[in-house]
Chain A
Amino acid sequence: MNLFANFHLSVVSFPKRLINLWGSAGFAQRVPGIRRILLPAGLWLGIASALYMYPNVVRYVSLVLVADRGADQEPAGQAGALLQQEIEEMDKKIAARTPKSHYLVINTAANEFSLYKGTQLIKTDKCSTGSYTLLKNGDKQQWMFKTPKGEFRIRNKTRSPVWKKPDWAFVEEGLPVPSPNHSSRFEYGVLGDYSLSLGDGYLIHGTLFQRFIGLPVTHGCVRLNDENLELVFKSLPIGAKVYIY
């Protein structure tokens, strides 16, 4: 109990005495509010701050004790040279992954495309990609108009393409769906002067509605304006890579 009493004396009574001493000395004596409110408030604030800082101090000290201290010194010696060589070899392998010839990168969230040749950026501009519209035809049919993501290749290139309208194009217009090879399915001039096929019916093509370029308005294809379409058509050979994200 003596130990407890001594602890109490040192932990609680000592600061209290200090406060009293300071208080009786002058200003605090004349202004009772300071002794009654501000001093205890200050004391509690001090305790609260100490308690708040305490875990951070423990965190810092314990991390320093556990951490490996040799990690950030300057590298030296033969092991360092060998490691550097290994890194350079890996750099070469990584660089070899980037196509050397032309390739196209399409950002569907921003509706932008970038045409590259190796690491050189040739052109970046607006395009239009899928609208993310889910078209429902009652409970029977539904179509999702989104541009697929991933790595693709140019499968085919066509000048003056003709659009063979799929079923959804008629459903979307409130028209009856004709037979597969009905003449009403074929439209001329609506895809612009060129088209590049990515497979599965997805194309890079032009549009009559160039004011919508930069907006997500397509049925999954990628639309470019006339100038960009010509550049892309002439730059990308069949087999060229197209990255869509």
Chain B
Amino acid sequence: MVKRIIRLSVYVLLGLVLIVLTMIGAAPARKLRAYEQAAVADSLFMAHVDSAYQAAGLGPLLKEAAYKKALLALAAYDSIAMIISLPDSTVMLAIHGVVIHSSRISGFEQDDVLSKLSPIAYSRMFSVPVQVTGQYSTIVKEPIVERQAPKDTMEASLNAFKPDTLIQNPGFLLMDMEYGIRLVLEQDSLDTPESVKVGRAFRRQLVRQDAERMFLGLSQGTIPDYTPTITLALPLDDLRSVYRALPAIPYVVVRM
């Protein structure tokens, strides 16, 4: 009897594990479906959708058109914004439509959910600049060095012509964007023990965020929310330039 109960419990547990794993596995597809449904439900956007969007085979051209529309829209903004072009492997900074910085992406990972978007959903999401809703970085945004004014010329002469400290942190940047998309920018070489350590801590934080979101969804008995992620690797100097140039709530144009 006891053996049978144990055996039954094992099967129940195994069944639960399979259900949970199925829910986790189905989360990306659920997100993709949510994007598709949101596009169709957006009457303002759908009013401009013509037959071209429905025609099979126009996907690449529609994506290109969405990118150009987003660039034109970006030109109207006063602040510095970021442009990510995955087909060209470049990250750019632009202001008023003028590209002021361009950096080569050393490597990138693009989420399946984003690459499988239909032309309609893609155009709705990426034909306008996407707003960053929150960001975290290991790079100091403004490396402010605080100094008290010297009391006299003697004290001032001690600091005279001494260059300020150059604060150079390892570069790992996380941006949460509209539509629940996550953008991760990492330095492309882990050449110092500190960068390895900081990189590990940064990735642990991402895993923790994902796990928290997953458990929250599962505890509510629903398929957990999924965060499509684009990960880019850039040279550290470029990453620093890009991050420091961007305002607190920047806009990003993404081309996939």
The residues of A with any CB-CB pair to B shorter than 8 Å are 4, 7-8, 51, 54-60, 62-63, 65-68, 70-77, 79-80, 82-84, 86-87, 90-91, 93-94, 97-99, 103, 105, 107-110, 131-138, 144, 146, 149-151, 171-175, 209, 212, 215-217, 241, 243, 245
Contact = CB atoms under 8 A, between A and B. Distances in A.
Contacts of B21: 51, 54-55, 58
Interface in B120-152: 142-152
Contact of B80 (A65, A103, A171, A245): A245
Contact of A68 (B60, B79, B116, B241): B116
Contact of A67 (B32, B95, B161): B32
A174 B150 contact: yes
Contacts of B109: none
A174 B156 CA distance: 6
Binding site secondary structure of chain A: mixed
A109 B52 contact: no
Contacts of B154: 174
B145 A133 contact: yes
A174 B152 contact: yes
A245 B246 CA distance: 8
A78 to B, nearest CB: 10
Interface of B: 7-8, 11, 17-18, 21-22, 24-29, 32-33, 36, 51-52, 55-62, 64-65, 68-69, 71-72, 75, 78-80, 93, 95-101, 112-113, 116-119, 142-156, 161, 163-164, 166, 237, 240-241, 244-245
A79 B27 CA distance: 35
Given A58-B22, A87-B61, A132-B143, A150 B95 contact: yes
B131 to A, nearest CB: 19
